[in-house]
Structure 1
Amino acid sequence: MRKADLLDEVRAEIGVVSDRLNGSVERLYRSVAKVLYQKVPAYRYAGVYLTSGYQFREFCGAGFCPHVPVVPFGQGLFSLAAARGSVVREQTGAQVEIFVPFYRGHHLIGQLVVVGTPVHHIDEEDIALFNEIASLFETKVEECM
């Protein structure tokens, strides 16, 4: 299957869940992590970290996460992505980590985190998908609040 077709299949599956939330954005977070991990072999981890107090806390995830479940503000790539307000992509050896923040207005809600291998399988098509998902999260947070 071509990568574009695979990512379109992922979009469609996430869209179906998104249309049936019944006021629970948390269900969307869980479904996104599960779908990304199960459908795309290059994704070794997909998860959502939400802000809580002065920290990022893993809300849900699928696969092996190289990060601790609670990351204080000011530490690591989570804070770098939050400060920039945009995607941060970090390559370490054959692994790539992507952090995509999402907001409610100007308030940081959390981040979509995806870890993949091998590096060359994660490209701009994937980044575009992650940005679309973050935008969907922002829309659904508004609708469900």
Structure 2
Amino acid sequence: MRKVDLLDELRSEIGVVSDKCADQVNDLYQFVCESLQKKMPGYQWVSIYLVQDYAFVLRHDEGERILPQSIPFGEGLISVAAARGSMVRERLSGRVEVYMPFYRGHHLIGVLVVIAKRANVIDEEDVSLFMELASLFETKVEKYNS
């Protein structure tokens, strides 16, 4: 199956689950982590960190855990993404790490983290999906907290 077709299939599945999640955004987070890690063979680890007090705390993940359970504000690329308010993609030790923050209004809610085994695994098609997921999370959080 071509990558673009696989990503479209993922979009469709995530959309269906999103519609069924009612007010359980955590179920959506977990489904996204599971689906991305299982269906995208090059993804080593997929996780969602949520803001809690003065740290990013791991809430959901699938795959080989790379980062710690809790990351204090100001540390690591996750904080760079949060401070910039946009995606950060870095090549480190032969792999690529992507950090995609999502917000409720101007308030940071969390960060989607995807780490791939090889630097060339994540391309612009993947990034487009990550941006759509961040937007979906923002919409769901806004809907359930309004």
The two structures have a TM-score, normalised by structure 2, of 0.97
Map of 1:58 onto structure 2 = 58
Measured on the aligned residues, the alpha-carbon RMSD in Å equals: 0.7
Map of 2:132 onto structure 1 = 132
Compute the displacement of 1:93 (Å): 2.9
Structure 2 counterparts to residues 92-107 of structure 1, below 5 A: 92-107=92-107
Structure 2 counterparts to residues 114-125 of structure 1, below 5 A: 114-125=114-125
Map of 1:37 onto structure 2 = 37
What SS class does the counterpart of residue 120 from structure 2 fall into?
A: helix
Partner AA of 1:125 in structure 2: E
After superposition, give the CA deviation of every residue in 1:41-94 in whole Å (9 maximum; x if it has no partner).
011111100000000000010001211010000001011000000000010132
What SS class does the counterpart of residue 65 from structure 1 fall into?
A: coil
Map of 1:21 onto structure 2 = 21
Distance 1:90 1:118 in 2: 12
The two structures have a TM-score, normalised by structure 1, of 0.98
Distance 1:39 1:15 in 2: 16
What SS class does the counterpart of residue 121 from structure 1 fall into?
A: coil
What SS class does the counterpart of residue 119 from structure 1 fall into?
A: coil
Structure 2 counterparts to residues 82-101 of structure 1, below 5 A: 82-101=82-101
Count of aligned positions = 145
Distance 2:66 2:90 in 1: 13
Distance 2:78 2:96 in 1: 14
Map of 2:10 onto structure 1 = 10
After superposition, give the CA deviation of every residue in 1:92-122 in whole Å (9 maximum; x if it has no partner).
1321000000000000000000000221121
Distance 2:22 2:132 in 1: 21
Compute the displacement of 1:32 (Å): 0.3
Structure 1 unaligned blocks of 5 or more:
none
Compute the displacement of 1:36 (Å): 0.3
Map of 2:70 onto structure 1 = 70
Structure 2 unaligned blocks of 5 or more:
none
Distance 1:111 1:26 in 2: 13
Distance 1:120 1:92 in 2: 12
What SS class does the counterpart of residue 101 from structure 2 fall into?
A: strand
